[in-house]
């Protein structure tokens, strides 16, 4: 799993390549719902364990051509070259469901589950720049949270929810 700096170094090159080849590119921005509760209730060790498990799910769910990174705290980004909005929303839902399936032992005898909220944007709906794509995916993430969390929302003129 890449970090924030590596993501931004590589994502611009992916975007340029997709634009020159006339291919779509999509971005997912997701974070762990109520992550502060996990840390505050069970401690940072439990929070770190949840982060590692979710990063592993993300790594196993993306293609080799995708770029996945933890960009800070409990926030992750996936850049998907050659992927239209519909394909990105499918991955978002697959990630969301796989995260929910994981049972985390957060303390002796205590099992919990984490959920994620996901914002999705693609070059065909969000403009052509990386900053615009990231901003649009982030806006969709906030809509997912406002709609109750544990969901994927695609940026579009009319909100698309799954």
Active-site positions?
74
Q: Please, are residues 117 and 144 in contact by the beta-carbon 8 Å criterion? A: yes
As a whole number of angstroms, the distance between CA 91 and CA 157 comes to: 21
For 71, the 3-state DSSP assignment is: strand
Q: What are phi and psi of 135, to 5 degrees?
A: -65, -45
Strands 116-122 and 110-112: unpaired
Contact by Cβ (8 Å): 159, 125: no
Residue 78: count of CB within 10 angstroms of its CB: 26
């Amino acid at each position: 799993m890449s970090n924030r700096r590596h993501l931004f170094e590589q994502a611009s090159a992916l975007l340029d390549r997709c634009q020159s080849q006339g291919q779509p590119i999509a971005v997912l921005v997701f974070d762990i719902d109520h992550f502060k509760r996990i840390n505050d209730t069970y401690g940072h060790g439990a929070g770190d364990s949840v982060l590692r498990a979710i990063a592993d799910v993300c790594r196993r769910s993306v293609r080799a051509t995708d770029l996945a990174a933890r960009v800070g705290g409990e926030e992750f980004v996936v850049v998907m070259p050659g992927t239209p909005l519909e394909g990105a929303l499918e991955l978002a839902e697959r990630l969301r469901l796989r995260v929910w399936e994981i049972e985390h032992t957060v303390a002796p005898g205590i099992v919990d589950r984490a959920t994620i909220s996901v914002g999705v944007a693609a070059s065909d709906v969000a403009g052509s720049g990386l900053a615009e794509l990231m901003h649009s995916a982030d806006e969709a993430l906030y809509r997912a949270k406002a709609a109750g969390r544990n969901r994927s929302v695609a940026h579009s003129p009319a909100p698309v929810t799954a």
